[in-house]
A and B are shown apart, each in its own frame.
Chain A
Amino acid sequence: MKTKKLSIIRYIVLAISALLMNGYIYGWLFKPHLYTGNLKSIIVPVLNCYACPSAIASCPVGTIQHFMVIGFFPLFALGILIIIGALFGRLFCGWVCPFGLIQDLLNKIPTPKWRMPKWMRFGKYLFLVFTVFLVPYLISDTVFCKICPMGALEGGIPQMLLKPELHHLAGFLYWRKLVILAITIFLVIFIKRFFCRAICPVGAFFAIFNKISVLRMKVHMPKCVSCDICKKDCPVDINIYDDPNSPECIRCGLCTNSCPFGAVKFTTVFSSDKSDKKIDVKIDVKNEAKIES
């Protein structure tokens, strides 16, 4: 019940964040169908396409690629992302990212769920290094934008609908993006947060900081009985007790509420372990097992 409440709060926060980042409703109604104000200097620490008619801020992936294409290192954008990563790790993936919200909602569709092979999680790092930094610099082209499903969803489809004059330009690249979007949606329905875990360069960037960030997850091991109830609720299918600050953890906090023993909690790097008290695990296991059954 507590988990459900936190889950609803998280969905509300995700929805409000998505609306705030895409709050330029005017862009859907009138030309140029794109926000052109100074708020575009803000780089959101999530995947949110700036080609969306209502986007008011800039996409970090698109911005970094642009700088690599023109042969400059994206100092400002990286500075912002490094500070956010050092403070919060992947918190924004779990609580702010609009594509995360879309994935979470799509995964609610009642179908058999698949487990993502573990090796696929390394894919996002390759996408980060090659399609965001290296290849754009070498070939002077925004490689990730050309395959980004969020770009197709937020930018490609709306812009094509709003601007009939672009229709004749929709060729192989456009249809390829739609196919990638369709495949992503298909996989996300069956695999929890597939895109975040296997492809997202923003997630890969923040994942590097999960181990050291100020905000952390903590599992009080004497309380944990490895019952895996937390894993059932986890949107990224991890065992939080194996590695509380796993690079895969998106800090959604659902495990903090789903754990019947209160073993998982948010903490900071400054907090001390001494406040934790041991409890009688055997008694709790029996009681909670009855409750669960």
Chain B
Amino acid sequence: MRKWIKIGLIAISIALGVILIIEGVKLEDIAEIITNGTTLCLSCIGIG
């Protein structure tokens, strides 16, 4: 029984992950991630 609960939780997690990815793509998260990643992170280097 516990095994099937775990499998159920995995299925829910993967389904949730897929939904979040799809919604994220719709909201143009990827463009924002690229913009953020290609801008020098001042907090990371410790100057802002």
A residues apposed to B, CB below 8 Å: 32, 34-38, 40-41, 43, 49-51, 57-58, 62-63, 66-67, 70, 72, 74-83, 85-87, 141-142, 145-146, 148, 151-152, 155-156, 159-160, 166, 169-171, 173-178, 209, 211-214, 269-270
Decide if B45 touches A174 in the complex (CB within 8 Å): yes
B residues apposed to A, CB below 8 Å: 3, 6-7, 9-10, 13-14, 16-25, 27, 29-30, 32-34, 36-38, 40-41, 43-48
Decide if B13 touches A41 in the complex (CB within 8 Å): no
Is the contact region of chain A dominated by helix, strand, or loop, or is it mixed?
helix
Contact residue among A67, A86, A166 (Cβ-Cβ distance under 8 Å from B17): A86
Given contacts A72-B27, A156-B45, contact A83 B17 (CB under 8 A): yes
Contact residue among B13, B17, B36, B45 (Cβ-Cβ distance under 8 Å from A66): B36
Decide if A159 touches B40 in the complex (CB within 8 Å): yes
Given contacts A40-B38, A63-B36, A86-B14, contact A75 B21 (CB under 8 A): yes
What residues on A are CB-neighbors of B20 within 8 Å? 75-76, 78-79, 82
Decide if B41 touches A155 in the complex (CB within 8 Å): yes
What residues on B are CB-neighbors of A173 within 8 Å? 46-48
- Report the minimal beta-carbon distance from B36 to chain A, rounded to whole angstroms: 5
Distance in angstroms between the alpha carbons of A151 and B33 in the assembled complex: 18
* Residue in B closest to A35 when the chains form the complex, CB atoms: B38
* Residue in A closest to B16 when the chains form the complex, CB atoms: A82
Decide if A85 touches B27 in the complex (CB within 8 Å): no
Decide if B10 touches A214 in the complex (CB within 8 Å): yes
* Residue in A closest to B30 when the chains form the complex, CB atoms: A41
Decide if B32 touches A67 in the complex (CB within 8 Å): yes
- Report the minimal beta-carbon distance from A252 to chain B, rounded to whole angstroms: 22
Which 10 A/B pairs are nearest by Cβ-Cβ distance? Answer: A76-B24, A79-B20, A40-B37, A75-B24, A79-B21, A83-B17, A174-B46, A76-B29, A86-B13, A145-B43
Decide if A63 touches B33 in the complex (CB within 8 Å): yes
- Report the minimal beta-carbon distance from A26 to chain B, rounded to whole angstroms: 14
Contact residue among A87, A142, A211, A270 (Cβ-Cβ distance under 8 Å from B7): A270
Decide if B7 touches A269 in the complex (CB within 8 Å): yes
Decide if A151 touches B24 in the complex (CB within 8 Å): no
Contact residue among B3, B21, B25, B32 (Cβ-Cβ distance under 8 Å from A269): B3
* Residue in A closest to B20 when the chains form the complex, CB atoms: A79
What residues on A are CB-neighbors of B48 within 8 Å? 169, 173
